[in-house]
Structure 1
Amino acid sequence: MIVKHKLAFITGTAIAGATLYSLIRHKQERDQDKVRRHLSDTLTKKFDNSELYGYWIDFNQNEDGQFIGGINLLDDDNNNIKSYGFTFDLANDEINNIKLLNTESIN
């Protein structure tokens, strides 16, 4: 009888843990999708005359809604790709602390 109770407890705990993990993971994915949508719109506004070559965001470096990210822009005039780092403020949809990190020539 005690074995059945232990098994039921372990099974119940495992199911609860798996459910909680699933809920947290789905919330995390929804939050990340929200950041991606807002960031894409903000990047388009900020760098409107540039050709976007790609961007990244570090979801693990989140401090009070501030995310660290980067963007690559294609400069057709010089045939270069310029890489910039920045912080993204989700609450205000603002890109701050933009710094040129690298310029790479593509031939």
Structure 2
Amino acid sequence: MLALKTFQRLDRVIQLHEEGVLVGSWDTVLGGLERAYEWMVETMDTHRIDTGGNPPIWAWSGTLRLIDAYLLFDETHELSTGYAVITFNASSDLVLLGGYTTFATFSTQP
């Protein structure tokens, strides 16, 4: 098991409390990043991690800092609209460790 943390909008936190599960949603993927998230789903499938076709949820294993949250959001996802950090344990066979740099590089390719 890996201890992980994720930043999520408050409506997603409410969803987690009501449904008992939090699954990635294409509705929350920022415009222009769809192909990069499709690549992530394909990569996870290659590693036999079943996402059910849903985009993954970003999570961190280390210490989170406010700057980490700030770098993730733009005007559309303004932090003042309400976000929370969710801490959870994930089975290591459901986690694909990586870095944002690869995703960012891929997301800027045509």
Q: TM-score range by the shorter chain?
A: under 0.3
TM-score (norm 1): 0.25
Instruction: Compare CA radii of gyration and give the structure with the larger one.
Output: 1
TM-score (norm 2): 0.25
> Which structure features the higher share of strand residues?
1
